[in-house]
Amino acid sequence: MPNTLPENIFRTVFEKSPGSLLVRADVPRFTILAASDSYLAVTATTRDAILGRGFSEVFPESTNIDDAIKAQHIFKKVAETGQKIDIPSYRYDIFDPDTYTYEEHYWSCSNVPILGDDGKIAYILNTVIDITKEVKAREEAMEIANRLRMANEATGLATWDLDLVDQTFVYSPRMAEIFGHKLDEDISLSDFRSQISQDDMNNIILPSFKAATLSGDYLYEVKIILPDASTRWIKTQGIVIFDANKKPVRMLGTVLDITESKRDEIRKNDFIAMASHELKTPLTSLKAYIQLLERKITQKDDSFINNALVKAGNQVNKMADLVYGFLDLSRLESGKLQVKILPFDISELIAEIITETMLINYSHPIVFKQGKPMIINADRDRIGQVVSNFLSNAIKYSPKGSTITVSSRIMDSNAQVSVTDNGIGIRSKDQEKLFQRFYRVENENIKNISGFGIGLYLASEIIQRHQGKIWVESKEGKGSTFSFSLPIGS
Ligand code: ADP
């Protein structure tokens, strides 16, 4: 077998190649020597009609196209300079004889000089590729990016994108603006991070860790410190993208300036804190006066007044619970809810709370299924508050005379406490929302029962602060069991 390809094979290869034309470098005629099938198809001609003829004779160029992309002009330059000329993208519409219209087309072409035996430029190879689809796709992508940018600008949303593999960080101009930087500054991810208030660092670590290991998405609110030392609040929301091996490779997110609404929230919290603080003092003295009167009246044995005072005492207690609830809420929101961790026996605490509850409430029998003594490290008053809330809800939301059962036991090295009632129960769609702030079930049966929907929210925050779990199991019309569990001896 010879080591060189026979000429007819070369010819076939050429004819099958995409958009190729070979012309002689005989300026200005440029005699056409070979053309590939696809070149003929695009130019709607045949090999017989063009071979051996001059290029401009066959393809007269329209006068309204730019000189720089005229084939004639380019061939001349290649022949004269011996340099290859590429035109990466140009528009040249094609006439469609069926519709009598021109169809929009984009092309990329390359013009390569080929030397003859004498070392002079003898031929020019012109290769043209139709890139209409690619150009259209790029235009569409730009259009989408533009629309997204406009939507982001309108909503004030900033966007960022972190490549976790090579740590490349890209952000929109709005992000620099929110963080108080000039648009031409080059800001790194660690620069942005260093602006997050130290007090809020914990708000980020857990959601980011969860997103990277479990859920893939995250949301957090933090305070940032601007270069001029002023502060702003931002809300970041985003997703983590994993590769096929479940390794996190990319994080994408948006940042929104929420300073205004945060300030409103802080003002509202301050108001609640102040109002509940101011209410505490008159309430305490009211309570003291009622107790004083109760003691005096008993001696005189006036049953009507005695009864009225017990009722007044109960109402004052209810009001005190509400006021303390709001005070706790505002402490919680401003991060000032303190927990004092000390070891104590949780069964003993439950027994105490049941006794106290029964003293002021005769409507429901309460049964305590007490497990072994269980020493936990926690804030005794706060955990007592959770048990009280479960108990008072069980009383509020179950018919008079029905039994309430409290149980304590050890489950998987945790102390588990449950309060079960035979009351109205809760629909499953409401169950997951019960622990949210101000959530109350909308239900005809309970519209007359007072409450603000903060008890369970506080309870869940308290339990979370102790690294515990809180949950509910319930059937509508049958009753509910509210439980929490806390690590023993932790
Ligand atoms: P409050 O009772 O003051 O409204 P909570 O936060 O303690 O606030 O409870 C939130 C809501 O959960 C209540 O409004 C009620 O709809 C529902 N709920 C709580 N405990 C029970 C229960 N034991 N049975 C039925 N519904 C309950």
Burial zone of 456 (CB within 10 Å; 0-12 exposed, 13-18 middle, 19+ buried):
buried
Q: Tell me the CA–centroid distance for residue 390 and ligand 1, in Å.
A: 9
pLDDT in tens, 373-425: 899 999 999 999 999 999 999 999 999 999 999 999 999 889 999 999 999 99
Which residue's structure tokens are 């949303």?
157
- H-run or E-run covering 160: strand 158-163
Out of 273-277, 299-303, 318-322, 478-482, give the one with best mean pLDDT.
478-482
Cβ of 437 less than 6 Å from ligand 1: no
Residue nearest to atom 9 of ligand 1 (CA): 453
pLDDT in tens, 167-199: 899 999 899 999 999 988 889 989 999 999 988
Residue 206 pLDDT grade (very low, low, confident, very high; cuts 50, 70, 90): low
Residue nearest to atom 13 of ligand 1 (CA): 440
Tokens of 109: 């072409």
Q: How far apart are CA 174 and CA 185, in angstroms?
A: 12
- Opening angle at CA 192, ends 240 and 222, nearest 5: 75
Residue 46 confidence (pLDDT) = 93
> What average pLDDT does the structure give for the chain?
88
Residue from 406, 434, 447 to probe ligand 1 pocket by mutation (most atoms less than 8 Å from CB): 434
Q: Tell me the CA–centroid distance for residue 434 and ligand 1, in Å.
A: 7
Residue nearest to atom 21 of ligand 1 (CA): 393
Residue range 307-333: average pLDDT? 85
Residue 396 confidence (pLDDT) = 92
Q: Decide if pLDDT at 490 tops 80.
A: no
Spatial neighbors of 3 by CB under 8 A, at least 6 apart, are none
Cβ of 379 less than 6 Å from ligand 1: no
Residue 342 confidence (pLDDT) = 93
Separation in Å, CA 46 to CA 8, 36, 148: 19, 10, 47
Q: Decide if pLDDT at 63 tops 70.
A: no
Residue 347 confidence (pLDDT) = 94
Q: Is 425 left (phi over 0), alpha (psi -120 to 50) or beta?
A: left
Its pTM stands at 0.57
Q: Are the C-beta atoms of residues 173 and 181 closer than 8 Å to each other? A: no
Separation in Å, CA 372 to CA 140, 346, 348, 380: 69, 10, 10, 18
Q: Decide if pLDDT at 69 tops 80.
A: no
pLDDT in tens, 436-452: 888 888 877 777 777 77
Per DSSP, the three-state class of 236 is: strand
**Which ligand 1 atom sits closest to the C-alpha of 440?**
14
Tokens of 289: 């006066």
The torsion angles phi and psi of 89, rounded to 5 degrees, stand at -160, 125
**Which ligand 1 atom sits closest to the C-alpha of 325?**
3
